[in-house]
Chains A and B, each alone.
Chain A
Amino acid sequence: MSFVEYGDTIKDGDTAIVFLGHESMFPVKVQHGTVTQTKYGVIRHSTDLIGKKYGSKVTCSKGGWVFILHPTPELWTMNLPHRTQILYSTDISIITMMLELKPGSIVCESGTGSGSLSHALIRTVAPTGHLYTVEFHQQRAEKAREEFREHGVEHLVTVTNQDVCKNGFGVSNIADAVFLDIPSPWEAIGHAKSALKAEGGRICSFSPCIEQVQRTCLAMEEYGFTEINTLEILLRVYNVKTISLQIPDLGKAAEDNSSTGFDSSNASHQASPCTNLQQGTVQFKSGVPLREVVGHTGYLTFATKN
């Protein structure tokens, strides 16, 4: 396996995702002789994982079972060890499309952070593209390098440990796209421009606060970027539930069965198992929004260098 190429069977050294249930999973590094504890008991890598197909159900020592999944940037994003606040797949998807990334694209990114976006970028530009990612925090830069090695994508990425606002991306006239997720992106717009190809390219900056966006937009304009456009994307997730609502007793049922408030002909035309007049309830499927949802991650500002 690698994060840019599917494999069928689990091998020694792979990073696999242990799926326990809805939204409950964690990554595991597959190693001969190693065991992993789960709430359903122990998984023995040599016998339970290596050689099995990805997507298999694995029975743990206490009899409970889990699924072992092939890693993807999206699963990694949901399970990676946080070293910083990270970008999630909803923002990542619009960033990837609006930066027009595809196999062969050269991308510059800063900061690397926890590598959530980095993995998605590498996946998209492989096998012929490259990611130049800049992280000013030495420990984080080193950790990112280690992860890229473990995930079999080190040939597609260069991690540089420097301050992008002072020293830029370490490359010039090479990138098709630049992405910024730093506290003062306006200080890096000039460097972004020189990292982009002379013929042009796309830029994106992610900022949580509108004041940051304003300064960034002004800087982009100053450096001659066009098509400056700020947007925000939010995900709404729905739980699929069967709801039953009680029919109020208006004292009519005794008088006439057809006047319960539901047109009897209508009821028979509709999916009859849903309407249960005898029990005084109506059942239906609904997509129910979660009680609490993410209301804001950050503003995304895109622009073009011509």
Chain B
Amino acid sequence: AMEGGPGARIREGDCAVLKRDEVFKAVSVLRRRKIIFEKQWFYLDNAIGHIYGTMFEVTSGGNLQPKQGVEETTTETKEAGTDNRNIVDDGKSQKLTHDDIKALKDKGIKGQEIVQQLIENSTTFRDKTEFAQDKYIKKKKKKYEAVITIVKPSTRILSTMYYAREPGKINHLRYDTLAQMLTLGNIHAGNKMIVMETCAGLVLGAVMERMGGYGSIIQMYPGGGPVRAATSCFGFPKAFFDKLHEFPLSKVQSLLSGTFTTETLPAEENALLEEESNGLSEEKQRQETEEEPAAETPMETNPAEEQDTMDMSAEDGEFKENKEKENKENVREKQIKQWERRKKLKEAAALLGEKNADGLIVASKFHPTPLLLSLLEFVAPSRPFVVYCQYKEPLLECYTKLRERGGVINLKLSESWLRNYQVLPDRSHPKLTMSGGGGYLLSGITVLLEKGRAEGSDSEALKVEEPAAKRCKLQHLPC
């Protein structure tokens, strides 16, 4: 299970993450494939074989070169001013023009040297305070000395990346909120988890990472199939997917009412048709999610998949005469596929039917109340559940409805705040900006629901829990 820990080497076909300062981008490592990242283009060919965490510089021709040590760009002259009373902004302090800088860049001069030239050609640099000089150098370094680190994907990196680049695709679930979910849900190896998410598969991936291939997961999905774009960025070993099941939300009601049987599954021919239409709706869904107002597409689409579809359409054109034979084979293939899908569906239904799951994680764009009221039926007593929602109000309703239903205790509505700090000698302070919102969580623990007197116990539970909440003391607060 520990394959690809620290020290692993970058291999062709790996899922990797590019990092420049605080910006991330997930990519597949492929030879002769042009990558555009932070306004730079390059090839990953030279990175193959290096250890994850290696820092690279982009050389002319788009090649990556491992960065040799960390050279200090200290200005020999340790001259500095004490304040800025005589520094005037006349816009002429930099003697190099835009064209000069461009010429330097075009000549392929190292970024480090450009920064040095900028410093030498700044008339005000020596009058700046030491701190201001430091800041100036850092700013220029960031612009001209682009260092790209290739890192191994993890929940930490992917959840940070998604929140920064595509918050819309993960319902603005901030990484610290995701961290709370994993802890509140007691996610660990050996669990049997139910996950319902529309966060591009990020939450599923996070749960899979914490379970390390031990135990099982049943992913509930809306529409034609589960979206796992983010899950594939983790680069999990194949074995992790053996115990990953999926079950359509649209069949939950029939499963709960006991009308779900294999007979209710679509007949073979219909199934074929449905599969095709499912495929379509899946595609449509994918399009919809990609129609985010994001300026650039941060995620690489799976190139292997792309290739496959392209190859297939080419074949179709070339071998028309074999079409009939192929069609027969296709039908057979599809039948086998369909049979496998039915088998998997039956397995997932059986797992859910045991009603002994070790937890429930919900993070979707849907209203949480109906999801909770139904899916909690599949969870064993004395197990945690966590619901994420971008908005507080639906969770208020969910809270009330769960209280009416009973069978849950220790309900808690919470939100986490995250503050980043700049820590430098004599210049420590909270960072200028912080995230305004990372969503809300409703968590609790299931208990045995006494069916006979469910209604009676509801009001009882309300009576017992409500006033207690009011005299909640500070030392009892879980921090």
Contacts and interface: CB of A to CB of B under 8 A. Distances in A.
A41 B442 CA distance: 32
A88 interface: yes
A93 B182 contact: yes
Nearest to B446: A55
Contact of A57 (B176, B420, B448): B448
A22 B472 contact: yes
A290 B400 CA distance: 18
A240 interface: yes
B2 A128 contact: yes
B53 A306 contact: yes
Contacts of A151: none
Nearest to B466: A22
A119 to B, nearest CB: 11
A230 B6 contact: no
A100 B17 CA distance: 15
Interface stretch (B222-230, B274-282, B320-328, B391-399): B391-399
Given A56-B381, A103-B211, A200-B7, A214 B425 contact: yes
Contacts of A218: 425
Interface string B384-410: 100000001101110110000000011
B189 A126 contact: yes
Contacts of B154: 100
Interface string A186-208: 00000000000111110000000
B209 interface: yes
Contacts of B412: 237
Interface string B207-218: 001111110000
A250 interface: no
Nearest to B449: A55
A54 B381 contact: yes
B184 A89 contact: yes
Interface in A35-68: 53-57, 67-68
Given A21-B468, A97-B156, A299-B421, A72 B414 contact: no
Contact of A103 (B51, B214, B400): B214
Contacts of B479: 88-91, 235, 294, 297
Interface in A285-306: 285-287, 290, 292-294, 297, 299, 301, 304, 306
B188 A287 contact: no
Interface in B281-333: none
B477 A294 contact: yes
Contact of B468 (A24, A231, A238): A24
Contact of B1 (A104, A232, A287): A104
A103 B208 CA distance: 10
B477 A74 contact: no
A57 B186 contact: no
Contacts of A21: 464-465, 468
Nearest to A104: B2
B409 A67 contact: yes
A217 interface: yes
B416 A236 contact: yes
A229 interface: yes
Interface string A263-303: 00000000000000000000001110010111001010100
A57 B358 CA distance: 19
Contact of A124 (B2, B210, B423, B478): B210
A260 interface: no
A223 interface: no
A198 B6 CA distance: 9
Interface in B179-224: 179-180, 182-184, 186, 188-191, 209-214
B428 A213 contact: yes
A234 B384 CA distance: 21
B190 A127 contact: yes
A142 interface: no
B178 interface: yes
B88 interface: no
Contact of B417 (A24, A100, A236): A236
Contacts of B396: 240, 285-287
A233 B447 contact: no
A102 interface: yes
A45 to B, nearest CB: 17
A146 interface: no
A210 B2 CA distance: 36
B465 to A, nearest CB: 5
Interface string A113-149: 0000000100110111000000000000000000000
A240 B214 contact: no
A116 to B, nearest CB: 10
Contact of A90 (B209, B416, B445, B446): B416
B447 A67 contact: yes
19 contacts: A8-B356, A24-B476, A55-B382, A56-B447, A67-B447, A74-B478, A93-B179, A102-B209, A123-B188, A126-B188, A201-B6, A213-B428, A214-B425, A234-B419, A237-B413, A238-B415, A240-B396, A286-B396, A290-B477
Interface of A: 4-6, 8, 19, 21-24, 53-57, 67-70, 72-74, 77-78, 88-94, 96-98, 100, 102-104, 120, 123-124, 126-128, 176, 197-201, 210, 213-214, 217-218, 228-240, 285-287, 290, 292-294, 297, 299, 301, 304, 306
